[in-house]
Amino acid sequence: MSPWDRSRFPRYAPKKPPPERGVKVKQPGTTWWGQRWLEALERVLAGDSGRLARGRTYARAGRSHDFHVERGQVTARVTGSRPQPYRVTIALTQLSDAVWARAIAGMAQKAQFAAELLAGQMPKQIDEVFRDAGSSLFPATRKDLETTCDCPDWGDPCKHVAAVHYVLGDALDRDPFLLFELRGKGKELVLAELRGQRGEAAHAEPTPAVKLGKLSAADYDRAPRALPALSFSFDAPAKPGALLEQLGKPASWQGAGSPADALSPVVERAAEAARRLALDEPAPSTPPAPRAPSKKARGRPRKR
């Protein structure tokens, strides 16, 4: 028998097709925080490029499914060549309550942070706040991250872990608050504590006194100095009405649905009208309203 006789080696079953419920990822890392997360995980995992590339292929094909994130842990299943899908877990170290308290206090000091977070955006300086609090929001070392997979590949990470890794990057693009969830603090808790500290700071600060100078009628609408050049960009939100959903229901709300359901269409129309005004675009043409029929066309009864 030839030493290279292929019959001596086991034949592996062909890969099963991706499941219908699989999560297909087109391009993870489309936001700065999603890209930063992928870079951090790739650096910490330090896997070989071949396995990472196969993981990206699996993610694009939708082989990852049953994806779930819950307080520091990501669980998922990945369909490969075996009859049963592989079980994958990615766990992150939870930040202590003390670190979270210092980080939220740091975020509350800047109104921009609260505004961006309430708008569903992650502030670019967010990790500086966590570093000042004594930690990091993104994983920095291997001890921050633990991955498991029940496949026979001893690689770390295997292609199944890598696939879930890219699905997680795509999920973070759509919901940056998963970053907080992965580090042990849910979105609602973070926003509630942030609102509370912002409210306390607003009540504690004295109202500054304002002195008005002399102003003549001729100078009323004249700028005291040359205005800087302004430029604007208008990007559609990743999810319309996201801010309304994050604000939640006020205590006085008595509607059947949520405020987001009721107000989102109005907000979208107002945003579109504001965009047209800013860009000096004409309003979309609307078909003319039907004319009322004349008295003759209405068929007035004749006098006999």
Residues 6+ apart with CB under 8 A from 87: 75, 77, 148, 149, 150
1, pLDDT greater than 60: no
77, pLDDT greater than 90: yes
290, pLDDT greater than 70: no
Q: What is the pLDDT of residues 214-256, one digit of tens each?
A: 777 777 777 777 878 877 666 777 677 777 776 677 777 777 7
> Does residue 236 form part of some domain?
no
Helix %, strand %, coil % of the chain (to 5): 40, 10, 50
Domain count, the chain: 1
| pLDDT of amino acid 13 | 58
Percentage of the chain beyond pLDDT 70 is 79
| pLDDT of amino acid 292 | 60
| pLDDT of amino acid 76 | 93
Q: What is the pLDDT of residues 103-124, one digit of tens each?
A: 998 888 888 887 888 777 888 8
- Which of 38, 82, 36 is closest to 59 using CA atoms? 38
Residues 6+ apart with CB under 8 A from 243: 118, 119, 120
Q: What is the pLDDT of residues 13-63, one digit of tens each?
A: 566 778 778 888 888 878 888 888 888 877 887 767 778 888 889 999 999
99, pLDDT greater than 90: yes
Say which residue, 297 or 96, is predicted with more confidence.
96
Domain span at residue 107?
13-193
> Does residue 149 form part of some domain?
yes
Report the half-sphere exposure of 279 (CA within 13 A, side-chain side): 13
> Does residue 60 form part of some domain?
yes
2, pLDDT greater than 50: no
Percentage of the chain beyond pLDDT 90 is 12
11, pLDDT greater than 60: no
> Does residue 170 form part of some domain?
yes
> Does residue 242 form part of some domain?
no
> Does residue 22 form part of some domain?
yes
> In angstroms, rounded to a whole number, what is the distance separating the alpha carbons of residues 163 and 140?
20
Compute the average pLDDT of residues 76-80: 91
Task: Name the pairing type of β-strands 145-149 and 64-70.
Answer: unpaired
| pLDDT of amino acid 207 | 56
Return the structure tokens found at 296.
């003759």
In angstroms, the Cα distances linking 262 to 197, 252, 275 are 29, 15, 22
Q: What is the pLDDT of residues 141-194, one digit of tens each?
A: 888 888 899 988 877 788 899 899 899 988 888 888 888 898 888 888 888 888
Task: Compute φ and ψ for 85, nearest 5 degrees.
Answer: -65, 155
| pLDDT of amino acid 295 | 55
In angstroms, the Cα distances linking 7 to 3, 15, 89, 123 are 10, 20, 36, 59
> Does residue 304 form part of some domain?
no
Average of per-residue pLDDT values in the chain: 79
> Does residue 20 form part of some domain?
yes
